[in-house]
Structure 1
Amino acid sequence: MENNFSQKNFSNISVKKIRKRDGRIDEFDPKRIYNAIEKAMRATKRYDKETLDKILDYILNIIENKYDGNSIPSVEEIQDIVELTLVKFDLYEVAKAYITYRKEKENIRKEKINLLGSFYEEEVAKKYSLNSIRLMVNRYLLKDEKLQILEGPKQMFERVAALIVIPDILYDERIYDKSGKQDIKPKEELNLEEGEIGLKKQGNSYKLKWNKYHLERMKYLYDYLNERGHMKISWSEFIKRLNNGDFDQYYENYLKYFDLMASKKFMPNSPTLFNAGARLGQLSACFVLDIDDDMASIMKSATDAAMIFKSGGGIGINYSKLRPEGDVVGSTGGIASGPISFMKIIDTVTDVVKQGGKRRGANMGIIESWHPDIMKFVHAKEKEGVLENFNISVMFDSNFWNYLAENKPYPLLNPRLLRKHNIKFPDEQGFDIDKVDKEVIVNYIDPKQLLSEISYVAWEKADPGCLFMDNINKRNMQYKYRGPIRATNPCGEQPLYPYESCNLGSINLYAMIEFKDGKAEFNWDKYIETIRWSYRFLDNVIDMNKYPLKEIEESSKAVRRVGLGYMGLADALFALKIPYSSEEGYRLLMKITEYLTYYSMEESIYRAKERGVFPKYNETSYKDGEMPVDGYYHKELWNLDWEKIRNEILENGIRNVEVTSIAPTGSISMLVETSSGIEPAYSLVYEKRVTAGNYFYVDIEFERQLKEKGLYKEEILKQISDNGGSLYNIDSIPDDLKAIFITALDLPWWDHIRAQAVAQIWITTSISKTINMPSWATSEDIYLAYLFAYKVGCKGITIYRDGSKSVQVYYAPAEATKSRFKDYFRLIREGKIENKTISILKSFKIDLPKWYTEMNIGDIKINLEIRKLELNNNNNFNDNISTDNCPVCKSVRLKHEGGCITCLDCGWSECILA
């Protein structure tokens, strides 16, 4: 990753080609020799640029004299020359490191070939680690009925890119009329027997060749546009022009989409990788269904859920419309069983429908705080084995917070009686109880007791989470016309109306880091360009998607919602040597997120000019000059000209109702080997156990900096691994590394929440973020965290206390995390991390937990006066305390993140979004 290669002119070298191990002839690049030697020198603390330049000159002279342009050297021959040269320069340790590196590379190459077989293609496979290739084979690559792979990494990305480029062609102004004033052309059949169809014909074939699933979606989009008067030519004329090469310029777009994925700059959500250009064709991760208080609607929701699970998606449902348990059923004179019983129906459906051959589905179950069954809902998952396929969340409206602030009894309302009296359900603007029929009030509850009970159960079982209706709808551009959004997808980062879906994708921020003279820089131009193409990719997904239900297709296309986010934040901050929770870190996080939404919206405006606004545009507040992000209303935070964006929307409209969202990225971030979503690193080092033995998995940027400092030694890695992957409270680790390499359980909950809130200022939808707490945190911590998250503008919050789920097979020992916290606060006090979150807490009149005061005045002495959850008391971080295993690789190394369980070894995730 270093960029110290001498800019000499090597054009006069007669050796221009090299023979690869598989026999292919490639360009000879001296920079590769330079980089390999540099790595070996740095690993042995013998790096010296002047010496390195001399070594390279010597090696190139030997190559020039030996081959003289008359023959082509092999990779092995070049490597032999390098080894001998290092010995000649008396660099024996460097030579040994180079030989070891060479052997490791050879072993990795052989295992990749073993995994990929005839699909091994070095130009793509070499960009991906062995772990990434294993993950692709286990999860992403298409397989036949005998589970033999049908494609390699390159073919997978080609398959996806070949689908995504199709809308660019059909929206070409030569054949597409944005106004929709064309005569509808007669319907024609798709003839798959006519031969190959593609772009860039070469002889009798094409550089891009579509399969039958690509062509089916192409024909579907053509017919969809034609039926709406957009197409200027018939289908057969279009195919004729396509075959004549009239649209071959879009091959460059195809290459752009391919490169986004192949170069690790961007990945779409998993269903797109699974299903693009394949039989299922369903590309979305997120869906929300509706459910009304009658049996027909309940059973329809179950059927719709089954279709979504089968296609590879997850769902969210708000169950608040259902009458409470024990209420009357007028049609039969019976007694209602309540919303939780109907959640169990969806839970059973989830169990029996395997998603697209990949895994079980995922659900978000929501009940609003005013529902009479709220306490039953809060405790619904306390018993093991109940609602296992659900994340659950309580949704609060602003009415609740007013009652809490005023310490007044909070009314519980019967949804059946609200409908009977034609009273609107409470929304984010509150509920005037004095103006409604008192019959609808079935009980009162102490709001503090309710929040305390939620806090305790979340402390004990990691569910429920909380959703804040007024924050969700504060900048909802559809609220004036459609009322509030009342549900989210399974991980909470996509608030959606019923039957809407969202297509997610994430930019790898670590791929935006470039090294110049050994110093890391964030390439903003590269980031902007990646945002533009990633947005285009996701907008095209809407047109290419094979939706599981007609209602979902209609609702999704009516607003064209996309959710572009990012991953690799922690690794990017590591490289830049900026602490995650520092003031500088929060400023950079805000700027990165502002750029993400600004340039996504700018591209969406360009798309609106070319292709038209989303159909429901005139039913939104965009036309009134409102904007979907809080940051617009705080000009002091601007780095970019947001007035320009607003004015362009008023003039030209916008293509998508919302454009950005930060999702959990468990599997796709493992694919590109970077940190997940907006999260801090979970662990810098952990011991990975395989059949052949154990080895340490090290965060990619941490490994680079350890080697740079000459600290990359097995005894240090073991020390960090035994400390839960954290540097804190390890005396041998220097403070400058501790200040930079912060992990999730090094941070107090308020810094997690602040990171989420800072990013939320510029995100149009929402954010999936795990607020990690150590095992010794109290229910008071969770209560205070809810208050803080609400007051700083988060749209929801998911808290995970270490060890609170039985599926978690390892957790950090209490004493270790207490010591880590103490070390973290020491760095803040000593000015090595600039952090002002405590003052923000105080400004919102949020109390600090008792342990904070005790921890900062002396030795840690924390007595927890709370109900206790029985946990394994073994302090060995790596010990197995559960019989649960990964269903793919059988590993017991599972972690909880973003409301999902993820395998650290193979990348399997319980979450369909990952």
Structure 2
Amino acid sequence: MTRPVPDLGENALKVLEKRYLRRDEAGNLAETPEGLFVRVAEAVAAPEAAHGGDPKAWAEVFYGLMARGDFLPNSPTLMNAGTPLGQLSACFVLPVGDSMEEIFDALKHTALVHKSGGGTGFDFSDLRPAGDRVRSTSGVASGPLSFLELFDRTTEVIKQGGMRRGANMGILEASHPDVMDFVRAKTEQGRLGNFNISVGVTDRFLRAVRDDGSWDLVNPRTGETVRTLPARELWRLLVDSAWRTGDPGLVFLDRIEEDNPTPHLGRLRSTNPCVTGDTWVLTDQGPRQVGRVAGLPLNVVVDGRVWRTEEEGFFPTGVRPVLRLVTREGYSLRLTGDHPVCRVVRCSRSSLKTRWTPAGDLKRGDRVLVNDHRSFPGWAGEYGEGEGYLLGLLVGDGTLKKDKAVLSVWSKEEDPQAQEGIRQIMQRARACAVRLGARRDFRGWMAVEGRGEYRLSTAALRRVAEDLGMGPGRKGITPELESRTSSSFVQGFLRGLFDADGSVQGTLAKGISLRLSQSDLPLLEGVQRLLLRLGIGSRIYRNRRSGGSKGLPDGRGGVREYTTKPQHELVVVRENLDLFWLRVGFGDSRKASALRRRLEGRRRLPYRERFLATVEELVPEGDAEVFDVRVPGCHAFDANGFLVHNCGEQPLLPYESCNLGSINLVRMADEAGELDWEKLDRTVRHAVRFLDDVIDANCYPLPEIAQRTRASRKIGLGIMGWADLLFLRRLRYGSPESLVLAGELMGFIRAVGHEASEALGEERGAFPAWEGSLHQRQGRRLRNATVTTLAPTGTISLLAGCSSGIEPAFSLALRRRAFESDTLVLLNPVFQRDLAILGEPGKDILARVLESGSLEGTDVPLWMKQTYVTAHEVSLEDHVRTQAAFQAHTDNGVSKTVNLPHEAGADQVERAFLLAHETGCKGITVYRDRCKETQVLYQGTGEVPSPGVPTKPKRRPAALTGSTVKVRTSFGNLYLTLNRLEGKPFELFATLGKSGRDTQAHTEALGRLVSLALRSGVPVRDVVGQLKGIGGSQPVFEGDGMVLSLPDAIAQGIERVLGETVEVSSGDMCPSCGAPLVHAEGCLRCVSCDYSKCL
């Protein structure tokens, strides 16, 4: 088979030579572009052998994908596949725990990841706030921000994989006490230069902003609120900082959590959801109250299945404000406002779509899930069905005295069926009482003369009642009754209670129901919990009959006015009636017959029980001690019947890594932009297989990363060349037609990608963490937990010769610096083709475009002006709606930057933030052109204006005073003499000992240029800022830090003489060639060379 020759343009070849092609020890190229793609293809295809595949055949397929430019994996795969390093992932999420050991473990892991060529993301929300107590040292904590700076400096001194410096993403929850300082951090020029920061916000926070409500800042260590402020105060700071600096971005935590396919694999450290200690949780040993089993591992029952908690079981999380969630059906629960409850977002006859929603965000009318325990067989415990039946009769119609329990029934002589029913109750109760242990003088049921009443007295039943927490005047469903008894006891108890007070009502035409009336509302709520644990749903109607006074028999043959309490009613309907008949039933033959006749007389199946409850209200109930739990494999539990989340999950799971690749859309379309859907289908399937093989071919920098990545096998297949495709189709970026196309395209890629992953799942097995995932619930055995991601494509889009990701074109013309002294003027090829259509006028237009980079102000046909828009000509709405259109069909996140013109106001940043949330984005980054002091972003190839500085240097006097310092470098000791004039730095002499002439010449040249700058009035801090941090090939350790290169050594030497440290700002200028950097796809990308840095 003849391999295709790699389809690479001139600039792509230069990028390959500089960054990707292997070199020998002397620095000479040792690899061709074809050899690179062969190396990568063979390394990635090697795991095929373990699955019965043909590595050679698949290596040819993978080679063709890359060589033709149809698909390219992320840069680390291109760089490292088939090499000793073998690290193929682009980015990693590392946990940062709230202890010195955990923090420095994370720092060490960061260094190892950066050394291997990866970037890192962190959630610092677990760290206790600045000033908080540190028990082990009796000191105070320095807070998350101090540790961000430590991570930032670590990144600064580590050369990443020999290719580029590392980059970091840092997130802090909006509820963290230090969030205000975190937001302000990057307004200080140069601070956290290796971090892109985002604030994690919830729907609850945004609702508080909208309603002008208050917002609590909560100590993550204790769960206590340390400060309450207006939500809009924090919001205004967020917006203003993003307008001024481009940081922070926003991460919409609730939106991310909704689509997390494997929530059971990690904690969401940002929230602290909790329930109160009196909450009932169902276990395989029966119901238990959370506060009574804290600290003990449990087997909890969720929707009828048993799941094991972590060893600590339920754990206290502090004293926090709680709400009571009340439903129309009668179910209620006390919990914190951030505890996720399973809310129903769509309900049809055949399916339910649910979403985890913080309790505080629920609204009246929302429907939530309660547990369906119909498949649960029951639990062991004290006492059996007989004791339960007697206690049910006692609670329903009996009296508990100091020495005995007295049961009562009434016979109606005029109703033979009723009499037979009573006889059956009496017969069953007497048999149970005898088995319980009757005394020798036990006489069974005794008639009460003149009242039609029969009574049965038993001391043994009194002892059982007292053992379960009852006493005279205190009978009902006690905590002891719920927690200690068996499911058989519960069935007997309910049967006795319904024999005493229940009724069968309704007709086949109007509906059948089973009803239990009581003035004791807590008793009915307890009955509702008991029924639900048996899989029987019910509803409580409050105040069915109002209280007042009523004439009732006085026990002496007369009538007397008695005060009556309001009556409430528990009702069982639908298919719950069938399950009640099977699991509980009646001892009263009349009631049993009435229910059986109605059930047997139905001509159609009953309505299904959906196990839904409707939110009625959320009632604040002050502060309470609260608890939480972790349930691996399920991550939910039964709380008073509700299906609630356990300790929340983090979708960016600790120790997971990104395994990414992108399809070049230009290669999937013809010259008119018509997509070849068959080719796209085939490319998606091959790309999914490629990325799945990468997981097994990868050499991970940490064993924890290997374990977590292989557990979920997440891959991220994305696209690049979106702007070019729109140019081909003559569609404006963000137009309605483009948004429809975006949805169709990404929906197709996602659907085919899932099919391909499912086919691999059948061939190789589902991902190891499949059990407990959303895919398991859907019955799909996918090989990969996630399949699609729109990730940054900075450098690989240069190789593919197409536009970056889904970003609009930054410019129609770019002056790209070559690696020698010349420059190349690059035109968008589609634009160049259409420009030629205009003939001679096109040349004048070309000249204008070369100067400005866009068609703004030019006289071109309307269709051309509407099609060829650049990033700053696209409205914020079109930016955001494009991101949302793709996000709707993407498993993971979408990397994109909303670029705003320099004159945009803070109100536009706010609009972009709010629109991103409204349209379903998972996060957003907004960057206003030239918003940083030293950043200059210009389109086109015209000259960049520079701020005015004196052009004529001051004359040097005959004598000056100065200081000399020595700095160690890899080339020998560097001696720097900094002379001053009128107390200010004026000139610099740099001498390098024992080095070659070329190195000496370079050193002297740097010293002269620094002197020229100082004599021309350039502030010494600016000089240091330009030199400090420049990396070289041979860094050395010096004192407490590292000297990266000769320029860096000069900068550090000047600092020593001055006795101060200059904080260096990247200024968003390219460290490779000095040209401006463009913000795109959440990354920095050089418009003049190949440099790309993901933040």
| TM-score, L = length of structure 2 | 0.52
SS in structure 2 opposite 1:653? coil
- 1:803, 1:811 within 8 Å by CA — same for their partners in 2? no
SS in structure 1 opposite 2:112? helix
Partner of 1:659: 787
Partner of 1:576: 729
Q: Report deviation, 1:893.
A: 4.0
Partner of 2:910: 783
Question: Would you say 1:697 and 2:818 are equivalent positions?
Answer: no
Partner of 2:130: 325
The superposition leaves residues 454-496 of structure 1 with CA deviations (integer Å, 9 ceiling, x where unpaired) of 1111111111100000111112122367554869xxxxxx952
Question: Would you say 1:255 and 2:60 are equivalent positions?
Answer: yes
- 2:814, 2:1088 within 8 Å by CA — same for their partners in 1? no
Q: Residue 172 of structure 1 is aligned with which of 52, 55, 64? A: 52
Note closer, same or farther for the CA distance 1:408–1:727 as it changes in structure 2 (3 Å cut): same
The 1-side partners of 2:235 and 2:59 are apart by: 51
SS in structure 1 opposite 2:795? helix
- 1:306, 1:353 within 8 Å by CA — same for their partners in 2? yes
SS in structure 1 opposite 2:921? coil
Question: Would you say 1:295 and 2:478 are equivalent positions?
Answer: no
The 2-side partners of 1:746 and 1:350 are apart by: 35
The superposition leaves residues 252-277 of structure 1 with CA deviations (integer Å, 9 ceiling, x where unpaired) of 32111001111011110000000000
Q: Residue 12 of structure 2 is aligned with which of 132, 137, 147? A: 132
The superposition leaves residues 130-153 of structure 1 with CA deviations (integer Å, 9 ceiling, x where unpaired) of 111011111111122332111010
Partner of 1:500: 656
- 1:579, 1:741 within 8 Å by CA — same for their partners in 2? yes
The superposition leaves residues 707-732 of structure 1 with CA deviations (integer Å, 9 ceiling, x where unpaired) of 24436855422201322x211332x2
Question: Would you say 1:311 and 2:122 are equivalent positions?
Answer: no
Question: Would you say 1:479 and 2:257 are equivalent positions?
Answer: no
- 2:121, 2:168 within 8 Å by CA — same for their partners in 1? yes
Partner of 1:804: 931
- 1:495, 1:765 within 8 Å by CA — same for their partners in 2? no
- 2:176, 2:218 within 8 Å by CA — same for their partners in 1? yes
The 1-side partners of 2:937 and 2:256 are apart by: 34
The superposition leaves residues 574-604 of structure 1 with CA deviations (integer Å, 9 ceiling, x where unpaired) of 1112222211111111111011111111000
Note closer, same or farther for the CA distance 1:772–1:267 as it changes in structure 2 (3 Å cut): same
| Matching of residues 176-325 of structure 1 within 5 Å | 247=54, 250-325=55-130
Q: Residue 408 of structure 1 is aligned with which of 194, 197, 213? A: 213
- 1:481, 1:619 within 8 Å by CA — same for their partners in 2? no
Note closer, same or farther for the CA distance 1:316–1:686 as it changes in structure 2 (3 Å cut): same
The 2-side partners of 1:302 and 1:610 are apart by: 39
Richer in strand (by share):
2
The 1-side partners of 2:22 and 2:219 are apart by: 49
The 1-side partners of 2:168 and 2:1071 are apart by: 19
Q: Which amino acid aligns with 1:771?
A: V
The superposition leaves residues 51-110 of structure 1 with CA deviations (integer Å, 9 ceiling, x where unpaired) of xxxxxxxxxxxxxxxxxxxxxxxxxxxxxxxxxxxxxxxxxxxxxxxxxxxxxxxxxxxx
Note closer, same or farther for the CA distance 1:257–1:693 as it changes in structure 2 (3 Å cut): closer
SS in structure 1 opposite 2:199? strand
Partner of 1:751: 878
RMSD (Å), alpha carbons = 2.3
The 1-side partners of 2:148 and 2:665 are apart by: 38
- 2:215, 2:231 within 8 Å by CA — same for their partners in 1? yes
Note closer, same or farther for the CA distance 1:653–1:600 as it changes in structure 2 (3 Å cut): same
| Matching of residues 329-348 of structure 1 within 5 Å | 329-348=134-153
Partner of 2:493: none
| Matching of residues 738-887 of structure 1 within 5 Å | 738-806=865-933, 808-811=935-938, 886-887=1070-1071
- 1:472, 1:485 within 8 Å by CA — same for their partners in 2? no
Unaligned runs of 5+ in 1: 1-25, 28-120, 174-246, 419-439, 488-493, 626-649, 814-880
SS in structure 1 opposite 2:935? coil
- 1:350, 1:360 within 8 Å by CA — same for their partners in 2? yes
| Percent of pairs with identical residues | 41
Note closer, same or farther for the CA distance 1:483–1:299 as it changes in structure 2 (3 Å cut): closer
Q: Report deviation, 1:452.
A: 1.2
SS in structure 2 opposite 1:905? coil
Note closer, same or farther for the CA distance 1:543–1:378 as it changes in structure 2 (3 Å cut): same
Q: Which amino acid aligns with 2:117?
A: G
The superposition leaves residues 178-214 of structure 1 with CA deviations (integer Å, 9 ceiling, x where unpaired) of xxxxxxxxxxxxxxxxxxxxxxxxxxxxxxxxxxxxx
Q: Residue 674 of structure 1 is aligned with which of 802, 807, 810? A: 802
Partner of 1:538: 691
The 1-side partners of 2:737 and 2:78 are apart by: 35
Q: Report deviation, 1:790.
A: 0.7
- 2:159, 2:165 within 8 Å by CA — same for their partners in 1? yes
SS in structure 2 opposite 1:564? strand
Partner of 2:295: none
Q: Which amino acid aligns with 1:362?
A: A
Q: Which amino acid aligns with 1:741?
A: Y
Partner of 1:717: 846
Unaligned runs of 5+ in 2: 272-649, 941-1064
The 1-side partners of 2:677 and 2:1068 are apart by: 43
How many residue pairs get matched? 592
The superposition leaves residues 800-848 of structure 1 with CA deviations (integer Å, 9 ceiling, x where unpaired) of 10001346333369xxxxxxxxxxxxxxxxxxxxxxxxxxxxxxxxxxx
| Matching of residues 299-698 of structure 1 within 5 Å | 299-418=104-223, 440-479=224-263, 482=266, 484=268, 495-515=651-671, 519-625=672-778, 650=779, 653-688=781-816, 695-698=824-827
Q: Which amino acid aligns with 2:110?
A: A
SS in structure 1 opposite 2:863? helix
SS in structure 2 opposite 1:453? helix
- 2:267, 2:653 within 8 Å by CA — same for their partners in 1? no
Partner of 2:1043: none
Q: Which amino acid aligns with 2:162?
A: G
SS in structure 2 opposite 1:267? strand
Note closer, same or farther for the CA distance 1:711–1:331 as it changes in structure 2 (3 Å cut): farther
The 1-side partners of 2:920 and 2:154 are apart by: 35
SS in structure 1 opposite 2:909? helix
Note closer, same or farther for the CA distance 1:525–1:375 as it changes in structure 2 (3 Å cut): same
Question: Would you say 1:906 and 2:1089 are equivalent positions?
Answer: yes
The 2-side partners of 1:287 and 1:481 are apart by: 15
- 1:770, 1:798 within 8 Å by CA — same for their partners in 2? yes
- 1:660, 1:765 within 8 Å by CA — same for their partners in 2? yes
Task: Decide which moves more: 402-411 or 608-617.
Answer: 402-411
SS in structure 1 opposite 2:69? coil
The 2-side partners of 1:529 and 1:486 are apart by: 41
The 2-side partners of 1:264 and 1:144 are apart by: 27
SS in structure 2 opposite 1:379? helix
- 2:260, 2:651 within 8 Å by CA — same for their partners in 1? no
Q: Report deviation, 1:279.
A: 1.7
- 2:125, 2:270 within 8 Å by CA — same for their partners in 1? no
Note closer, same or farther for the CA distance 1:692–1:476 as it changes in structure 2 (3 Å cut): closer
Q: Residue 33 of structure 2 is aligned with which of 153, 178, 187? A: 153
- 1:501, 1:556 within 8 Å by CA — same for their partners in 2? yes
- 2:757, 2:783 within 8 Å by CA — same for their partners in 1? yes
Note closer, same or farther for the CA distance 1:520–1:708 as it changes in structure 2 (3 Å cut): farther
